[in-house]
């Protein structure tokens, strides 16, 4: 079972008991590591073109990540949180939604924002510490990356309530990590979603580490998905290296949310191949063996094998997408670098709708 039962745990024990118990779960999987379909029932209905598009986005994202790390080393990007290894949870979960759905990201979730419509050069501007990076274009339903771990979970909860109040068939999705699932805002958000039955998807990308702190030290819970039980919402665990499992889980959760069925917590088991950030050294807290083991579960490899067997993808396709991605990154980093610099006066004018007198006065010092 991949889904945590929301039935009363008392009933689950078979005999009446005052002690809460729950069952172990196994992650939802659609593809085996060899790229074979192991769960046909959960195979999402996708055309060949859609399958190719998903692979395109994952390869593009991997290449963009490679390039961004280099740009960071060259000083052309500022704070950057690498994403390699997490392409299935990032690209897949976003692909499962419609553009009307709303994305509330954590700080690492730039790929979801870009695939949801944020221009790439703005992602680079965000990294470079430019306000225009967060100036989301009209019609793109995302929030800016969130630095305070878990704060966005509550925003998604409020946005979901907004959809419900307006009678719109939309869902909000929010992302955090295994560390974020320890925050008070995580529990408060899930609990509100349960109490108000809100169309929200809480996606935890469990990559095993909160910066350096391993999952084993993060919680005593059987799984992060189990935390849904206490909030009275659905809980699922998925193989986060299996993009089709991720899409299946998110599509289902979105469908349930849109039709008044409430919220779902999805725990995706994944791994970041790179350090937490450009300033982090993962060798200090992760073993080579562990990294090696996870690299064998590379989501691009698994999905690539599946597509190759179907005759939908070749190594040449990968090479072509890489070149496209490199060209796009070059174009967008140039655009980011050529964007007019922020000014302190402009910053002052973005504090309030109408700049009050004391700030007008302070602005004069910067003109």
Partner 1 sequence: MAQMTMIDAIRDAMRVELARDPNVLVFGEDVGHVGGVFRATEGLQKEFGEQRVFDTPLAESAIGGLAVGLGIQGFRPIAEIQFVGFIYEALDQMFIQAARMRYRSGGRYNAPIVFRTPFGGGVKAAELHTDSLEGLAIQTPGIKVIVPSNPYDAKGLLISAIRDNDPVFFMEHLNLYRAFRAEVPEGEYTVPIGKANIVREGKDITIIAYGLMVHTAMKAAEELEKNGVSAEVIDLRTLLPLDIDTIVASIQKTNRAIVVQEAQKTSGAAAEIIAQINEKAILHLEAPVLRCAGPDTVYPFAQIEDAWLPTAARIVKTANQVLQF
Interaction site with partner 1 (CB under 8 A) = 104, 131-132, 134-136, 138, 143-144, 148, 151, 153-163, 165-166, 172, 184-185, 188-189, 191-192, 195, 347, 350-353, 356-358
- Please say which residue, 129 or 214, places its beta carbon nearer to partner 1: 129
* Residue 168 CB, nearest approach to partner 1 (Å): 9
**HEC sequence for the chain:** CCEECCCCHHHHCCCCCCCCCCCCCCCECCECCCCCECCHHHCCCCCHHHHHHHHHHHHHHHHHHHHHHHHHHCCCCCCCCCCCCCHHHHHHHHHCCCCCCEEECCCCCHHHHHHHCCCHHHHHHHHCCCHHHHCCCCCCCECCCCCCCCHHHHHHHHHHHHHHHHCCCCCEEEEEECCHHHCHHHHHHHHHHHHHCCCEEEEEEECCEECCEEHHHCCCCCCCCCHHHHHCCEEEEEECCCHHHHHHHHHHHHHHHHCCCCCEEEEEECCCCCCCCCCCCHHHCCCHHHHHHHHCCCHHHHHHHHHHHCCCCCHHHHHHHHHHHHHHHHHHHHHHHHCCCCCHHHHHCCCCCCCCHHHHHHHHHHC
- Please say which residue, 311 or 357, places its beta carbon nearer to partner 1: 357
* Residue 78 CB, nearest approach to partner 1 (Å): 15
- Please say which residue, 45 or 166, places its beta carbon nearer to partner 1: 166
Catalytic residues: 272, 276, 285
- Please say which residue, 288 or 358, places its beta carbon nearer to partner 1: 358
* Residue 86 CB, nearest approach to partner 1 (Å): 24
* Residue 347 CB, nearest approach to partner 1 (Å): 7
- Please say which residue, 183 or 280, places its beta carbon nearer to partner 1: 183
């Amino acid at each position: 079972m991949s889904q945590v039962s929301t039935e009363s745990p008392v009933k689950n024990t078979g005999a009446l008991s005052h002690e809460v118990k729950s069952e172990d779960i196994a992650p939802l999987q659609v593809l085996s590591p060899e790229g074979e379909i192991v769960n046909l029932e959960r195979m999402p209905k996708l055309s060949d073109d859609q399958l190719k598009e998903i692979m395109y986005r994952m390869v593009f994202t991997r290449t963009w990540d490679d390039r961004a790390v280099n740009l960071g080393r060259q000083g052309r990007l500022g704070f950057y949180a690498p994403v390699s290894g997490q392409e299935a949870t990032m690209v897949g979960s976003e692909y499962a939604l419609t553009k009307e759905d709303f994305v509330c990201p954590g700080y690492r979730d730039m790929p979801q924002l870009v695939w949801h419509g944020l221009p790439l050069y703005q992602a680079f501007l965000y990294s470079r510490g430019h306000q225009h990076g967060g100036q989301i274009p009209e019609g793109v339903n995302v929030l800016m990356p969130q630095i305070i771990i878990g704060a966005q979970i509550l925003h998604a909860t409020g946005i979901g309530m907004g959809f419900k109040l307006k009678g719109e068939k939309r869902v909000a999705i929010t992302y955090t990590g295994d560390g974020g699932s320890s925050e008070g805002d995580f529990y408060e958000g899930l609990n509100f979603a349960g109490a108000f039955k809100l169309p929200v998807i809480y996606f935890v990308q469990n990559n095993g580490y909160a910066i350096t702190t391993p999952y084993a030290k993060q919680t005593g819970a059987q799984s992060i998905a189990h935390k849904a039980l206490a909030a009275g919402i659905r809980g699922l665990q998925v193989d986060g290296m299996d993009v089709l499992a991720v899409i299946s889980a998110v599509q289902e959760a979105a469908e349930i949310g849109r039709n008044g069925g409430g919220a779902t917590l999805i725990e995706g088991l994944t791994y970041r191949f790179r350090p937490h950030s450009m300033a982090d050294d993962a060798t200090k807290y992760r073993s080579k063996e562990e990294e090696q083991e996870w690299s064998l579960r590379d989501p691009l490899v698994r999905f690539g094998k599946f597509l190759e067997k179907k005759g939908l993808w070749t190594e040449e396709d990968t090479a072509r997408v890489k070149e496209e991605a490199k060209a796009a990154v070059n174009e967008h980093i140039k655009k980011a670098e050529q964007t007019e610099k922020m000014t302190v006066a402009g910053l002052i004018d973005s504090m309030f709708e109408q700049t009050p007198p004391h700030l007008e006065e302070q602005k004069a010092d910067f003109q």
